[in-house]
Amino acid sequence: MFDVTANGARIPALGFGTFRIAEDDVKRIVPQALKTGFRHIDTAQIYENEAAVGEAIEMSGIPRKDIFLTTKVWVSNYRHDDFIASVDESLGKLRTDYVDLLLLHWPNNDVPLAEQIGALNAVHKAGKVRHIGVSNFSTALMAETVSLSDAPIVTNQVEYHPFLDQSVVMDAANRFGMSLTSYFAMADGKVFENDTLKELAADHGKSVAQIVLRWLIQQNNVVALSKTVNEHRLKENFDIFDFELSSAQMTVIHDLADANGRIVSPDGLAPQWD
């Protein structure tokens, strides 16, 4: 495991995500993830499993200080007072007095961005969060966020997989000293059907999932979130630090990007994508 350094934050390059994982499964698999070696756990208010994540971390026996914990504020909580209250509620559920990274989950034009960033900075200044960032933001919103914030913005968490070109967002992140955190790395299962990725996996004696995760973390300042409820796949997903993809192989995977590759773009939340 290695860390990605971004605007003062040291973020474990490989994280374990909990999107769409039920509470019982969270309590079972998160301690196993930590036992396997994961030290970066990602959740969100809207996932409705923060309490299970908090319990699982406690059950794991791994000291809280050794875990990089991320959660996200949901769009309905962006008004300043609601924001502060929701963060306090999240901390209670997570059984901790701080999170390592707090993100705005999606853009919300109904609340001025200055108010959202002001609330992020308030909880940062209060010591409730160590670092702050955004998720699903366009490059224009990234730039505005950076200009509005006193505290450094350390990441933009976005959909990123071999079928979606995020080079424009990545270039912006690099300009701002931010990392890019990838979710939906497996493209909702589509990577497992791709012949090119299958061939690369066979060449390295690895799985397709391992090839994709390695491709992500081998890029500059990219953090990858993996997800599974299967213990065998959990260990497989973590086993990506003993090989490298060549420059040519990295390019071959980049070339899989398609103009229609985006999967996640919910009406009423999605910005004007780059």
Residue 259 CB neighbours (<10 A): 8
Please give the span between the terminal C-alpha atoms of the chain, in angstroms, as a whole number.
Answer: 31
Residue 232's SS3 state is: helix
Does 105 carry a binding-site annotation? Answer: yes
Is the separation of the CB atoms in 180 and 4 below 8 Å?
no
Catalytic residue among 47, 78, 160, 183: 47
47 is catalytic: yes
Place of tokens 């992020």: 120
Residue 204 CB neighbours (<10 A): 16
Among candidate residues 1, 4, 40, 32, the one with its CA nearest the CA of residue 219: 4
DSSP for 96-129 reads SS-EEEEEE-S--TTS-HHHHHHHHHHHHHTTSE
Known binding site for substrate: residues? Answer: 105
Name the residues annotated as catalytic. 47
